[in-house]
């Protein structure tokens, strides 16, 4: 008579395994992702953090690797993009990691009719002649959070000097520079972030929830600023105009809708009050799960469905 199998070991051997991909600075994930871990584990999923550049991680051993808080890739973007291409089952897919981690994607979205904040681009060898007045934002094309971003009142001689120095510092580091008008609506109305998750029943991203972010750029950039400056986050019900722009941006993502797991669309009202796109976050956005009681459940369902779809497709479903 054979001995009964260890039921716990059997369950673990057959359970769906999901890696929540993070960075070495946050090996246990940020607080905002904890509800997702709890929701996945409650559903019988083995969900665990995994650091993206840890050479000991066996990415092929996961049914799905979900990009979450890989916020240290900025100085190593090429390495990060190359790593993403080696992960067999990655969400969002590697092709979007390459596209979305360089903000020149805004040019493409603008060309297909998504209303984007007007942006001037300056390569390392370009000359920037600053405007004589107005408030302007300087930031790099490859960046996350508010690091290396500054706000300048160019009628102020000191701000003007600091803005020129900021552009020059980024150019010396061989970085593409973005210069945008500062939108004063962010000081009162704030920035609206609309979060979308894959809907297993519909096969594409659908709206989940939204939040308001208060202004973060209060003045010139300081090179030693933290990656993420303090934010004031509250739940928000988006306007019909914001939903329309967000959906237009999501529809313009250059990937099959069924391949997408999440998106975050950041908007600020322009001078005429109509929403303008700040960023379309597809790689490692904060999803503010704790601001909506059903958000973690909806994302968990999307992850489970995505992992199952890849399992059915087998080796043919490779996110390259």
Question: Looking at the domain assignment, is residue 196 inside a domain?
Answer: yes
Q: In this structure, are 191 and 143 located in the same domain?
A: no
Given a contact cutoff of 8 angstroms between Cβ atoms, the answer to whether 242 and 221 are in contact is no
Q: In this structure, are 84 and 166 located in the same domain?
A: no
Placement of tokens 């399992």 in the chain: 311
d(CA 233, CA 212) in angstroms, rounded, equals 6
Quote the domain boundaries for residue 163.
120-181
Q: In this structure, are 126 and 265 located in the same domain?
A: no
Domain termination site, one of 136, 164, 181? 181
Q: In this structure, are 190 and 284 located in the same domain?
A: yes
Q: In this structure, are 109 and 218 located in the same domain?
A: yes
- Give the pairing type, strands 64-69 and 17-22: parallel
Question: Looking at the domain assignment, is residue 238 inside a domain?
Answer: yes
Question: Looking at the domain assignment, is residue 299 inside a domain?
Answer: no
CATH number where 38 lies: 3.40.50
Given a contact cutoff of 8 angstroms between Cβ atoms, the answer to whether 84 and 95 are in contact is no
Note down pLDDT in tens along the chain; length 320 residues.
444 555 554 456 578 999 999 999 999 999 999 999 999 999 999 999 999 999 999 999 999 999 999 999 998 999 999 999 999 999 999 999 999 999 999 999 999 999 999 999 999 999 999 999 999 999 999 988 788 999 999 999 999 999 999 999 999 999 999 999 999 999 999 999 999 999 999 999 999 999 999 998 989 988 665 555 567 899 999 999 999 999 999 999 999 999 999 999 999 999 999 999 999 999 999 999 999 999 999 999 999 999 998 876 554 344 54
Q: In this structure, are 42 and 168 located in the same domain?
A: no
Q: How many domains is the chain partitioned into structurally?
A: 3
Query: Which residue intervals of 65-144 are DSSP H helices?
Result: 77-84, 94-100, 105-111
Question: Looking at the domain assignment, is residue 99 inside a domain?
Answer: no
Q: In this structure, are 271 and 175 located in the same domain?
A: no
Given a contact cutoff of 8 angstroms between Cβ atoms, the answer to whether 117 and 277 are in contact is yes
Q: In this structure, are 170 and 189 located in the same domain?
A: no
Burial of 294 (0-12, 13-18, 19+ CB in 10 A): exposed
Q: In this structure, are 160 and 219 located in the same domain?
A: no
Given a contact cutoff of 8 angstroms between Cβ atoms, the answer to whether 221 and 165 are in contact is no
Question: Looking at the domain assignment, is residue 199 inside a domain?
Answer: yes
Q: In this structure, are 175 and 195 located in the same domain?
A: no
d(CA 196, CA 164) in angstroms, rounded, equals 37
Q: In this structure, are 12 and 38 located in the same domain?
A: yes
Question: Looking at the domain assignment, is residue 300 inside a domain?
Answer: no
d(CA 204, CA 198) in angstroms, rounded, equals 5
Question: Looking at the domain assignment, is residue 170 inside a domain?
Answer: yes
């Amino acid at each position: 008579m054979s001995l009964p199998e260890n039921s716990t070991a059997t369950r673990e051997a057959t359970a769906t395994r999901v890696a929540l991909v993070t960075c070495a600075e946050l090996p246990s994930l940020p607080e905002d992702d904890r509800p997702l871990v709890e929701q996945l584990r409650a559903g019988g999923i083995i969900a665990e953090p995994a650091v993206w550049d840890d050479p000991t991680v066996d990415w092929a051993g996961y049914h799905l690797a979900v990009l979450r808080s890989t916020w240290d890739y900025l100085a190593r973007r090429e390495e990060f993009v190359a790593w993403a291409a080696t992960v067999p089952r990655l969400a969002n897919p590697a092709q979007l990691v390459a596209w979305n981690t360089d903000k020149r994607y805004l040019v493409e979205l603008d060309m297909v009719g998504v209303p984007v904040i007007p942006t001037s681009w300056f390569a390392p060898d370009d000359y920037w002649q600053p405007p004589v007045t107005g408030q302007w934002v300087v930031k790099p094309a490859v960046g996350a959070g508010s690091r290396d971003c500054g706000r300048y009142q160019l009628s102020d001689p000191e701000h003007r000097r600091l803005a020129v120095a900021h552009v020059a510092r980024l150019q010396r580091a061989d970085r593409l520079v973005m210069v945008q008008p500062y939108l004063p609506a962010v000081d009162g109305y704030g920035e609206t972030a609309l979060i979308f998750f894959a809907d297993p029943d519909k096969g594409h991203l659908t709206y989940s929830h939204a939040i308001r972010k208060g202004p973060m750029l209060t003045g010139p950039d300081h090179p030693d600023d933290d990656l993420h400056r303090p934010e004031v986050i509250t739940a928000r019900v988006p306007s019909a105009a914001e939903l329309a722009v967000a959906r237009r941006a999501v529809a313009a993502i250059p990937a099959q809708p069924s391949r997408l797991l999440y998106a975050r669309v950041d908007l600020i009202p322009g001078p005429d009050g109509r929403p303008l796109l700040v960023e379309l976050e597809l790689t490692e956005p904060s999803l503010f799960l704790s601001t909506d009681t059903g958000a973690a459940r909806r994302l968990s369902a999307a992850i489970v469905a995505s992992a199952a779809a890849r399992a059915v497709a087998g080796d043919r479903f490779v996110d390259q």
